[in-house]
Chain A
Amino acid sequence: MDMNAPVGANALDAERIVGKPLDRIDGRLKVTGGARYAYEMQQDALYGFVVEASIAKGKITSIDTLAAERSPGVKLVLTHRNAPKQGTGNHREAHPVLTGPVVSSYGEPVAFVVAETFEQARAAAYLVDVKYDPKGGHFALPQHLGLARVPHQADGAPADSEVGNFSGAYASAPVQIDVSYGTPLQSHAMMEPHATLAMWDGDKLTLHTANQMLNQGQRVIARTLNIPIGNVRLVSPFIGGGFGGKLWVNADAILAAIAARYLKRPVKVALTRQQIFHVTTHRSDTIQRVRLGTDRDGRIVAIGHDVFSGNLRSEQVYEAAALQTRSLYAGSNRLTRHRLVPLDIPVASSMRAPGEAVGLLALECAMDELAEKLKLDPIELRIRNEPAEDPERHVPYSSRHLVACMQEGARRFGWNRRNPVPGQVRDGQWLVGIGMSAGTRGNPLRFSKANLRLDPDGVATVRMAMTDIGTGTYTILAQIAAEMLGLPLERVQVDLGDTIFPEAAGSGGSFGAASSGSALFEACQALRQKLATRAGMDPETARFADGRVATGERSINLTELVGSGIEAEGEISPGRNNQDLSQQSYGAHFAEIGVDQDTGEVRVRRMLGVFAAGRVLNAKTARSQAIGGMVFGAGAALHEDLVLDPRFGYFVNHDLAEYHVPVHADIPPNIDAIFLPELDERSNPLKSKGIGELGICGAGAAIANAIYNACGARIRSYPITLDKILTDLPKQS
C-alpha cells in the first residue's frame, strides 16, 4: 500500500505480543556462536588482504609485485594493471577499485593480495612495493572554507532553506545569540569489521557480506562489475553493527568478487581495524554557525544555521547538520545553509543520525546559551518556541510530543534541583552540573516487500531481504507476524538477509523497522484475508488467536486451512505522507556530569532520555537501542575525535587504542530510556517511528550543557576533552 492516509484501528492495537519486552529470538544463536557472520562462512576459501595507498593524492609510478607473488601461498596479486574495467559513479552508485594509477585519497586500495591463508596474504601484502609521485592536496576542512560550494545531493534534502527575512529579523531582534560550534571527524567503530566472502557459479556471483542495505548493495555491485543485477546475490543474515559504515558497498566486496572470478575459487576478506578508518567511510567534521534572535520573552523571531562539511572532491554528500533546525522550533524568519568543501580525503558519508547527531550538538547548546542570556529555564525557552505546524513547510506534524518528553524527563530527573548559576554544586573533588537537550530525528518510510507463508505444521515463515544489524529486527518482525496471525512467537520463523527474498529497505536512517515491519503487516493482512475467506468468514471481523481463526461461536485451527501451505505478499510505499506531513521522532535528554576540579576530567553520573516515537515494537530492544544511542552521544560529546594530519592527508589515530569511544567505566549504571505512549496514525501501518538514531540526537548536547552548568566552561569545539576545560577551572588552594 501507499502510505497516504491515517491508518485507523488495526489488529496490532491489541499489543498481545507486539510491544512486549521480549528477548531477541536470535539471542541464543548469537551468544553461542551459532550466528555466522560473513567472514565465518565457508572454510575452504582463499584469503585476501588489502594494500592501502600510503599517500593521499598523486600517482602510482610503479608497483613491484614480484616478491609478493613469490611469497608462500600467494595465488594472486591484483593491482590497477590487471584489475578489470569497472562501472563508475558516486559512492552510493558504484565502488570501482584499483582504478589507478591516480590516487585520490589516503588508504585507497592499490593492491589486493590473495593467498591460501590470511597470514600468508598479509605477509605478502607488505612485500608489494609501490612507488608514488605524491601531489599536494586539500585535506583539513577548516583550512579550505574558501573553496566551499553548494552541494547537489540528488537523494537528499535541498542544501538551503529560507523563510521570511532572516537577516532583517535577526538584526532587529532584541536578544541575539551568534555562536560557532565545531564537531570533529568521526568513525563508525562498529564491532564487526567490513568483511566479504565472494563465490562465483558461472556468471552468478554470491557475496556473503556485511552490508546494511542488500538491495541497494546488489545494484551497486552489478553496476560496478558490469553484470546483470539478477546475477548478483547478497547474503547477510547477521551483521555486527554498522552505524552507517555498512550502508554502501565497500572495497572488501568488490575486491573479493574480482579476485574470486579471476581465481575461480571463493575468496574472503576482512578489513583490519586499522584499515577500516581509511578504506571505508567516516563522518565529516563540521563547522556550524547558529544565530538565534528572539523578542524579550524568548520567542524566536529569527533562526539561522550555517554548516560547513567536507568530502572527497568527486562526492556531493554533505553533513546535513542544519536539517533539524528547519522543523524543531517556531520562528517566522529562517535560514539554513549547507556548504561542502571539496577535499582530497576518503569518502565522508552517513554515520548514525547523519545531520541531527552533530547538528543538535550545536543548536541545542546555542539554545542553552540563549536561555542563559534571557534568564529563562532552558525547558521553558523550548516550550515558548513549540511550533503548531512545521514552520518552514507549513504542513502538520504527523505527531509531536516534545514538550511532554521534556516535562516528563524534568520530573523524573529532578530538573527542579538544577542551579542555573554554573559552578555552584560540589561533591568532593567534583563540580557537578546538569543539563538537558531536545532531541529529534527524521522519520522516513521506504519501499519494502515481504513474503509470508503458513505451512501445514503451523509455522509461519517471513522472508525478506531485510537486515538485522544487531538492532532486533528478527524479533520485532516475529512479533508482528505472531500478533497478526494469532500465533505464539515460537511458531514464527524469520528469514532475512538474502536478496533472493523480496526487496526490503534494509537497516539505516531509522527507516528499517517501520519499512520492513509495514510490508510484513501488509503481508499479514493479505494472509488473514485468504485464511478467513477459506474459513468462510468475513476477513474484517474474523479474530486470529491461539493458532485459530474465529468468528462468533465458530473457530477453526489455521492448520486446517493452509492445505499444502499458503502464501501472501505485502508491500509498503511512502506515498504522499513524506510530502504532506512533517515527520520526526522526538525526545528529551538529561545528563548529570562531574568535572574534576583539578584536572578537568569529565565523568557522566546520570543520563535519562525520554522519547515519543510512536508505537514501541519491543520495549526491551527499543530501550537497548535508545541507550546505545545515548552512549553514542556521550562518545560524541566527550571522546570521539578522528584526527587528520594535514601533512599526510590521513587520519593519525586509526585504531581503537587512540580513537576513543566510551568504555563501560565511562557510562554510569544510572542510565535509562523511557518511551511515552504514542501512536502515530499517519507514520505507517504499525503507527511506529524509527528509533535507531533518536537516542544519539541531543544526548551529547545535554552533556555539554551539563558541563557548562558544572564549571562554567562553554566549550564549542567537540569533543570536550579535559585540555579544553582546564583554563576554566577554579584556582587551586
Chain B
Amino acid sequence: MKAFSYGRARSLADAAATANKPGFKIIAGGTNLLDLMKLQVETPSALVDINRLPLDKIEETSEGGLRIGALVRNSDLAADPRVRQHYGVLSRALLAGASAQLRNKATTAGNLLQRTRCYYFYDITKPCNKRVPGSGCSALAGFNRIHAILGGSEACIATHPSDMAVAMRALDAKVETTDHEGRTRAIPIADFQRLPGRTPEVESALASGEIVTAVTLPPPPPGVQVYRKVRDRASYAFALVSVAAIVDSVRGRIRSARLAFGGVAPKPWRIAAAEQRLTNEAVGARSFDAAADAALEGARGAGANDFKIPLTRRTLHAVLGEITRI
C-alpha cells in the first residue's frame, strides 16, 4: 500500500471538487478499494471519505419509484420493506452477494463501481490491459473460468462482479450524479457501465469529478421477480451465471419479460431481442430456447469459461420455468 492522505468531505460539492483532482479517490464502504490498495492495484494519493454525507436515505419518488442514496448500505437496502415488497429481485440479488459483514459496510454506489475480480487484474506482476493499458490480457489465453462470454474484447474479458447491478439493470434504474461544478445528470444504468472495447480501463460513464449521489428505480414493473445466482459454493462466491428476471404471464402466455444476466459479461447483460422472443409467446421450451438463443447471440468461450454458455441457457430455462409456474 502506498502512503496516501485522508480527508473527510464536508459537503457534496467539497467531495466533487476534491475528487476532480488527480490521484484523489472517493472512499465509502471501502470493501473493494482497500483490498486493491493493499495490493497496489489502486494507488490513490489521497482518499476523500464521503461516509458522513447525507446520502443514506431511501425515499419514494413522485413517480412511484424509489430513490436510493449512494451511501445506503447493501444490507439496509436489501432489508427495506418497500424494496422487499416491490423490488424483490433487488433484495434477493443483494442478499446473494458477498457476506453479511461486507453487505453491512458496502454501499450502493460502491457496489456499482466495484472492480472486476479477474485474477490477473489483482496481481500487479501480470499483464492486464485494465490495470496497465496496453500491457496485454493474461486471461484470454490463461485461466478464465470466471470470465466473460459476452461483451468482451481482444483487450479484456473481465466480468463485472456485482449482483445488485444485475437486478438494477432489469429494473431500468438510473444513476444520479453530480460533478465538481454542481451539474447533475441521471444516467440510465444501461449506459453507466462500459464495455471494454479497446479501453478496458474505462469502466463507467462517470467523468472526472463526477460523483454518484443516488440510484433511482422507476415504479415496479408488472410480473413476478426472480434472481437466480449460480455459483461454485453455496455462499460467498461470485456468480458464474446469474439471471434477474421479471416476467408477467397469465394463463400460460407471457405478456412482458425483462431479463438481465450477471457473471457473463463486463456489465450486467440485457438483450432486448431475448425479451421480445418471450413477449406474447406461450410459456414453454420453444420460447425459452428462443430467448436463450437471442441472449447468447455472439457468446464465445475462451476455454475454461466455455461451460457458461450451456449453463446460462439452462439457468435461464429453469428461471423462466419457475417464474411462469408461480
Contact = CB atoms under 8 A, between A and B. Distances in A.
Q: Please indicate whether A and B come from the same complex rather than being unrelated chains.
A: yes
B164 interface: no
Interface residues of A, number: 40
Given A598-B318, A732-B318, A657 B3 contact: no
Nearest to A601: B230
Which of A603, A645, A652 has its CB near the most chain B CB atoms (within 10 A)? Answer: A652
Contacts of B143: 643, 645, 652-653
Interface stretch (A469-477, A517-525, A720-728): A720-728
B272 interface: no
Nearest to B119: A652
B90 interface: no
B234 A666 contact: yes
Contacts of A274: 39
9 shortest interchain CB distances as A-B pairs: A598-B318, A665-B234, A723-B307, A54-B125, A665-B235, A652-B119, A652-B143, A666-B234, A599-B230
A665 B98 CA distance: 13
B285 interface: yes
Nearest to A120: B3
A729 interface: yes
A665 B122 CA distance: 26
Contact of A123 (B2, B126, B142, B285): B2
Interface in B287-326: 307, 310-311, 314-315, 317-318, 321
Nearest to A119: B1
Nearest to B146: A658
B237 interface: yes
Contacts of A658: 117, 119, 146
A272 B38 CA distance: 10
A603 B234 contact: yes
Interface residues of B, number: 39
Given A639-B232, A663-B233, 19 more contacts: A119-B1, A122-B1, A123-B2, A598-B314, A598-B315, A598-B318, A599-B315, A600-B311, A603-B234, A638-B233, A639-B233, A645-B138, A652-B120, A653-B119, A660-B237, A663-B235, A666-B235, A722-B240, A722-B307
Given A645-B143, A648-B126, A666 B285 contact: no
7 contacts: A72-B3, A122-B1, A123-B2, A599-B241, A652-B142, A665-B234, A732-B285
B104 interface: no
A547 B182 CA distance: 81
A429 interface: yes
Interface string A595-611: 00011110100000000
A658 B38 CA distance: 17
Interface of A (DSSP majority class): loop
A123 B4 CA distance: 11
Which of B120, B141, B230 has its CB near the most chain A CB atoms (within 10 A)? Answer: B230
B311 A664 contact: no
Contacts of B240: 722
Given A123-B1, A729-B314, A721 B142 contact: no
Contacts of A601: 230-231
Contacts of A733: 285
Contact of B236 (A123, A652, A654, A663): A663
Nearest to A603: B234
Interface string A625-653: 00000000000001100010101100011
A721 B232 contact: yes
A580 interface: no
A645 B237 contact: no
A662 interface: yes
A713 to B, nearest CB: 14
A54 B321 CA distance: 49
Contacts of B123: 654
A126 interface: yes
A655 interface: yes
A726 B307 contact: yes
A456 B69 CA distance: 68
Contacts of A652: 119-120, 142-143
Interface in B148-185: none
Interface of A: 54, 72, 119, 122-123, 126, 272, 274, 429, 598-601, 603, 638-639, 643, 645, 647-648, 652-655, 657-658, 660, 662-666, 721-723, 726-727, 729, 732-733
Interface string B79-100: 0000000000000000000000
B11 interface: no
B314 A726 contact: yes
Given A603-B234, A639-B233, A126 B2 contact: yes
Contacts of B280: none
A221 B119 CA distance: 35
Contacts of B307: 722-723, 726
Contacts of A654: 123
Contact of B318 (A599, A638, A664): A599
Contacts of A122: 1, 38
Interface string B19-56: 00000000000000000001110000000000000000
B305 to A, nearest CB: 9
A637 to B, nearest CB: 12
Nearest to A648: B126
B142 to A, nearest CB: 5
Contacts of A647: 138, 141-142
A722 B122 contact: no
Contacts of B125: 54
A598 B232 contact: no
B140 to A, nearest CB: 11
B216 to A, nearest CB: 31
B234 A599 contact: no
A604 to B, nearest CB: 9
A726 B122 contact: no
Contacts of B38: 122, 272
A638 B237 CA distance: 14
A520 B314 CA distance: 60
Given A123-B1, A666-B234, A722-B230, A657 B311 contact: no
Contacts of A123: 1-3
A186 to B, nearest CB: 15
B125 to A, nearest CB: 4
A599 B241 CA distance: 10
A599 B232 contact: no
A270 to B, nearest CB: 13
A733 B324 CA distance: 14
A578 B39 CA distance: 49
Interface string B212-242: 0000000000000000001111111110110
Contacts of A272: 38
Nearest to A272: B38
Nearest to A732: B317
A721 B230 CA distance: 12
Contacts of B234: 603, 663, 665-666
A598 B2 contact: no
A79 to B, nearest CB: 17
Interface string B115-146: 00101101101100000000000100111011
B315 A645 contact: no
A655 B122 contact: yes
Contacts of B138: 645, 647
Interface in B64-116: none
A647 B123 CA distance: 15
Contacts of B311: 599-600, 722-723, 726
A332 B317 CA distance: 53
Nearest to B4: A123
A662 B119 contact: no
Contacts of B39: 274
A666 B138 CA distance: 31
Nearest to A733: B285
Nearest to A638: B233
A429 B318 contact: yes
Nearest to A729: B314
A353 B142 CA distance: 31
A67 to B, nearest CB: 12
Nearest to B322: A429
